[in-house]
Amino acid sequence: MPTLPVRGVDLALDLSADSGPLVVQLHGLLSSRVRDEQMGLDLGKVLHGHRVLRYDARGHGESSGSWNERDYTWSALAEDLLTLLDIVAPGEKVHGVGPSMGTGTLLHAAARDPERFTTLTLITPPTAWGTRPAQAAVYRANAALVEKAGLEAYLELGADGPVPPALMAAPATYPTVAADLMPTVLRGAAISDLPPKDVVRGLDVPVLILAWTKDYGHPLKTARTLHTLIEDSRLVTARNPYGVVAWPGLFAEHITMDRDG
């Protein structure tokens, strides 16, 4: 699997083609390219005529990691993303898509370099702003649990949690972050948040927001707030697995739409 050195780590990646507009696809916290495929979140799989760049974030999947929790904040991961794009597609406008942590990364990247993105697709936006402190406390508690009792204790805790209706048909998946690195990654997530609302409101890029119901870590409140803040946005909510099955088609429609017609 090819890797590229980016800001002190080696990011594992794949590129689907040699020509066409570029799509960069991110993943969620403790996930990876492979795990998102298993969860049905590989939205670029239906695209034709595009290059799809997928990569594992630092410390995730097959990418190497670092030991500073601040390296895993969404703003720092946005620096990784923009640096990677400067290497793979210097000066090129791209379509960005990603769930949860990927959504946070994309929003910070777009806030920093808005001219880089042709469209954004934000999947299952995470807790943010007023709902973030409670989720941050969960991440810190989970980090301490892994340090004290090990990864198996963390997995057992997660096995008892509710599953969103949209994921009822998805296979069981497991974190793709090494146990010794996971506390650092989780603490980085705990000190992350979306950009301020005024910054999000100022984004001038077409945005598709794909959300699902009954997930405390990815509440509809965030998705609806983003939809309200971003003038050129569309919100679609999945209430069962069939809704998620429709997401790749909605994504393909979003990035190929003729907005000048």
8-21 pLDDT tens trace? 999 999 999 888 99
36-65 pLDDT tens trace? 999 999 999 889 899 999 999 999 999 999
pLDDT at 259: 58
- Cα–Cα distances in angstroms (integers) from residue 123 to residues 15, 17, 69, 179, in the given order: 21, 24, 24, 26
Confidence of residue 169 (pLDDT cuts 50, 70, 90): confident
Q: What is the CA radius of gyration of the chain?
A: 17
98-121 pLDDT tens trace? 999 999 999 999 999 999 999 999
pLDDT at 157: 85
Q: Which CATH class is domain 3-256?
A: alpha beta
- CB burial string 21-39: b at 16+ within 10 A, e below: bbbbbbbbbbbbbbbbeeb
Write the single-letter amino acid at 25: Q
pLDDT at 145: 97
H or E element, residue 174: none
pLDDT at 1: 57
- Do the Cβ atoms of 81 and 59 come closer than 8 Å? no
CA distance 85 to 116: 9
- Do the Cβ atoms of 123 and 97 come closer than 8 Å? yes
- Cα–Cα distances in angstroms (integers) from residue 139 to residues 43, 58, 92, 197, in the given order: 27, 18, 36, 23
116-167 pLDDT tens trace? 999 999 999 999 999 999 999 999 999 999 999 999 999 998 766 788 999 9
CA distance 177 to 23: 24
Give domain limits for the chain.
3-256
Tell me, yes or no, if the pTM score tops 0.85: yes
Of 1, 126, 11, 4, which Cα lies nearest the Cα of 59?
Answer: 11
**% of the chain surpassing 70 pLDDT:** 97
Confidence of residue 235 (pLDDT cuts 50, 70, 90): very high
CB atoms within 10 A of CB 161: 8
- Quick one: average pLDDT of 85-96? 97
Mean pLDDT of the chain: 95
pLDDT at 170: 87
User: In terms of DSSP H, where are the helices of 89-181?
Assistant: 101-112, 132-149, 151-159
Confidence of residue 261 (pLDDT cuts 50, 70, 90): very low
pLDDT surpassing 90 at residue 233: yes
